[in-house]
Amino acid sequence: MNHLAQIRKKWSKAVAIATFCFAAANLSAQETRKAIAQSMPVYPQMARQFQLSGTVKVQVVIAPDGQIKETKLLGGHPLLAESALSALKKWKFAPSKEETTQILEFNFRP
């Protein structure tokens, strides 16, 4: 790889990191809502058999009344994600003046 290509590669990584930091700063500027009712995901039996572990990331849109209005899977094994999404149906957050968005992580370990 020539010197110019190396500089371009480093520059694109720097831009990607800066973009991520900016996006994270925008999310953190939003109010973080406290969960007042939450159900922890059940570790799926099939995942246990295969000793499957990992993290499931879910973006949730929380209505002003504290109910989860929308979920969006951001990452994680589908078998584990199904359990996390199912558990989120029972969650409720503290009320707020406006709709908020949060990213939640669920860690599954055998």
pLDDT tens-place string over residues 77-97: 999 999 999 999 999 999 999
pLDDT at position 109, please? 87
- Give CA–CA dist 63/66, Å, rounded: 5
State pLDDT tens for residues 27-74.
Answer: 444 578 999 999 999 999 999 998 999 999 999 999 999 999 999 999
Residue written as tokens 């930091």? 21
**If we measure between CA atoms, which residue out of 109, 110, 103 comes closest to residue 57?**
103
Assign 3 to helix, strand or coil. helix
Q: Which helix (H) or strand (E) holds 20?
A: helix 3-29
Q: What gap in Å lies between CA 95 and CA 18, rounded to an integer? A: 33
- The CATH classification of domain 32-108, taken from the options 3.40.50.720, 1.10.1030.10, 3.30.2420.10, 3.40.50.20: 3.30.2420.10
Residue 21 has pLDDT above 90, yes or no: no
pLDDT of residue 110: 80
